[in-house]
Structure 1
Amino acid sequence: MEFTGFTEEDFEVFTIDGLDARMDALKTTIRPKLEALGEHFSPTLSALTGNEMFPHVAKHARRTINPPKDTWVAISSSSRGYKMLPHFQIGLWESHVFVWFAMIYEAPNKADFGKTLEKKLSSIYKNTPKHFVWSEDHMKPGAITHKQLKKEDLRLLFERLQTVKKAEILCGIHIEKNDAINMSANEFLTEVEGVFNTLLPLYKLA
């Protein structure tokens, strides 16, 4: 399937009450688009990273009561999963689309990655675009814009990755819902490709 762009209906999925009803809508409305994005960007990211990359669309299979508040496709260097590895994500909350490089709490080498990030602090601080955002928890929709951070704030994020068991690091962009709806499919794909190119140095460090 070809990616056709996001619509109001995609974001409205997260307002549907009840696990089963929301999951049904998610499967028919958003999941095909995430699958298309995964298939589109896996070859691109394989070429960029030098590793074969595989898409993983969130299944939300463990949920029994609470309906998902967000959903995503993750792209990693393993066909078996992504949570233990540095990876890229494209996904949606009700309010926005996110495009991330992510190292989440399951990754066994995140403390080492935190040390590497701390060593490269100056260049990361200088080279991250001002409108990019950082997050320390993929379960929350909020994030901090790079331009709001002092270098010391970023260092503390990297230090936390080394010392706190549940710590995570995510960097990328948020595209507000209305902006995402107003983008053509090609505009969105071009934007995401640019973001992945910008995030590549973080992936290489990991």
Structure 2
Amino acid sequence: MFNEKSFEVFKVDGLEERMVAIRGEIQPIFQELNVFFKSKLETELTEELFIHIAQHLRRSVHPPENTWSALSRQKRGYKMEAHFQLGIFPEYVFMWLSIIDQPKGKDQMAEALIAHPEWWNKLPNDFVFNKDHIVSDYFPLEQEGMEAALQRLKKIKKSELQIGRVIPRDSLLWEDPEKARAYMLETYEALLPMYRGLQEF
């Protein structure tokens, strides 16, 4: 499970040095947790999911400021559709349902989210959203902000949207790994109606 060493990785200087730390400290946690989530979510979805772990291969100078993994129906990638993400910034761990990097059906997904506010406005109060997967900012999942974010997702080509939960670095959940894992799984399970609805595009 994530611990203080996981967050300390982002203090390591140098691209290769930080990637060594990410591969050693974070990626094994991604793999273990995603195997667990995959088995649970596949049972509910009755379809196969594939684990993807970001390798940051396009970077040549700057070390990554966050890192992530994904679960999707696609074996060769995940950004072409709405997918589940598990990742970490220096300040928190995140669990998202993600629409990023301009998937083919992005506009239709935005329209579906606008037409089905029950997918997101009935989520627990601690759910939040993010508008850019490389920026750590996130916002309360309230009506006005979400409606503006969805209009942006529909109208702006490079716009993104991620919905889910974050666990801050200093959260007491990290003291109970089983409780943290259950909280993460509950997050993805709460997002399943939205996930199913967005797979049509």
Deviation by residue 1:38-68 (Cα, 9 ceiling, x = unmatched): 2111121212223210110111111101100
User: Aligned partners of 1:47 and 1:168: how far apart in 2?
Assistant: 28
1:128 aligns with 2:120: no
Do the aligned partners of 1:23 and 1:67 also contact (CA within 8 Å) in 2? yes
2:39 is aligned to: 43
Q: Could you say what secondary structure the match of 2:111 adopts?
A: helix
Q: Percent identity?
A: 31
User: Larger deviation: 34-43 or 167-176?
Assistant: 34-43
Match of 2:74 in 1: 78
Root mean square deviation, CA, Å: 1.4
Q: What does residue 9 of structure 1 align with? A: 5
- Rounded Cα–Cα distance in structure 2 between residues aligned with 1:14 and 1:143: 19
Report the equivalent of 1:203.
195
Deviation at 1:128, TM superposition (A): 2.0
Residues 64-75 of structure 1 aligned to structure 2 (within 5 Å): 64-75=60-71
* Corresponding residue for residue 88 of structure 1: 84
Match of 2:152 in 1: 160
1:3-33 per-residue CA deviation (whole Å, 9 max, x = no partner) reads xx11111100001111011111111111111
1: CA distance between counterparts of 2:80 and 2:189?
A: 22
Encode CA deviations 1:103-138: one digit per residue, 9 max, x unaligned: 1133110100101111112x2453022211111111
Aligned to 1:111: 107
Q: 1:34 aligns with which of 25, 30, 35?
A: 30
- State the number of aligned residues: 198
1:140 aligns with 135
CA distance in 2, matches of 1:73, 1:185: 19
**Aligned equivalents of 1:51 and 1:137: distance in 2?**
28
- Contact 2:89–2:136, Cα closer than 8 Å, also in 1: yes
Q: What code does the residue aligned with 2:145 have?
A: D
In the TM superposition, residue 191 of structure 1 has moved relative to its aligned partner by 0.6
| Structure 2: tracts of 5 or more residues without a match | none
The runs of 4+ residues in structure 1 deviating greater than 3 Å are none
Aligned partner letter, 2:70: A
Return the alpha-carbon distance in structure 1 between the equivalents of residues 14 and 172 of structure 2.
26
- 1:150-189 Cα deviation digits (max 9, x unpaired): x233222111111111111110011001216733221121
- Tell me how far apart the structure 2 counterparts of residues 126 and 28 of structure 1 sit (CA, whole Å): 38
| Counterpart secondary structure, 1:52 | coil
Per the normalisation by structure 2, the TM-score is 0.93
Equivalent-residue separation in structure 2 for 1:126 and 1:65 (angstroms): 41
Contact 2:102 2:157 in 1 (8 A): no
Q: Assess, with a 3 A threshold, how the Cα gap between structure 1 residues 198 and 181 changes in structure 2: closer, same or farther.
A: closer
